[in-house]
Homo-oligomer: A and B are copies of this chain.
Amino acid sequence: MPTSTLPRSSDDRLDETFHALASSTRRAILARLATGDANVNELAEPFEMTLPAISKHLKVLERAGLITRGRRAQYRPCALDPEPLAAVADWTERYRTIWENRFDRLDDYLAQLPEPSPPTTPSETGSTDD
């Protein structure tokens, strides 16, 4: 395996980041690492899962650049690297404005309504919806 370090597009990297995050196990590992570095056994402890399974999850997180791994004696300490999350935040941000504009348009619509009929006159309101 030549460990193909080909120049990945930002699309590919976003694919990889989102995929790595699409697992509550992996997100829990990241949450644990957010409190400080940890070895593989420490990371595996909360899960009802064998060590090789955790090892695989860590490899996914590492390939996505979300963690880095060192070597201290026979331990492989893992550290969080939230850098790829910046791209996630950027991507998400572009949709937040769209989301907010919906309410803006609704606000505009409500603002130009003829009369804010008081809630004491429940009749007359068009009940033939749909």
Contacts and interface: CB of A to CB of B under 8 A. Distances in A.
- A interface SS class: helix
A44 interface: no
Given A21-B18, A23-B15, A27-B14, A86 B99 contact: yes
Given A15-B22, A18-B21, A24-B12, A80 B92 contact: no
A38 to B, nearest CB: 15
A92 B98 contact: no
A83 B99 contact: yes
Interface of A: 11-12, 14-15, 18-19, 21-24, 27, 30, 34, 80, 82-83, 85-86, 88-89, 91-96, 98-99
